[in-house]
Amino acid sequence: MAYYGIIPESVAQITSTTTLKTTSFKNSFGEYRYQAPQKDLVFGYVVQPLTPHWNAFFATPEKALLDLLYLYPFYNTAAEIEDFRLDEAVIHSEFDTHKRENMLQKFQSQSLESRVKLMREVYGL
């Protein structure tokens, strides 16, 4: 699997989902936040080996955006969605709209559906 950055610049905070407790910390590399969604929302990732004995789980781009909108519900206006400054070439060429919509249904959240609709409008998806 190739990694495509959907944000074409550095980010101020790294957010990961976890099955453990929600926590956050800062160090010289940046600010990190681990959020624990409901267990039935832990899906949509691929396993990537980092070393012969250690794997990492990476969300697909579609799931990463859904998680962002789900975990941070205050992104709810067109201006705030535009502030993501997503790489439009990447989201138009690499995103699987059908996969995103199937994943969206698993959240069973009307407010998330509204934010995704707004994202579709802002980015022409």
pLDDT in tens, 89-122: 888 888 899 999 999 999 999 999 999 999 999 9
For the entire predicted model, the pTM comes to 0.80
pLDDT mean across residues, the chain: 87
CA distance 106 to 99: 11
What pLDDT digit, counting tens, does each position of 33-86 carry?
888 888 899 999 999 999 999 999 999 989 999 999 998 888 889 999 988 888
- Residues 6 or more apart from 34 whose CB is under 8 A from it? 15, 16, 17, 18, 20, 21, 22, 23, 24
**pLDDT score recorded for residue 37:** 87
pLDDT of residue 5: 58
Q: Give the model's pLDDT for residue 124.
A: 86
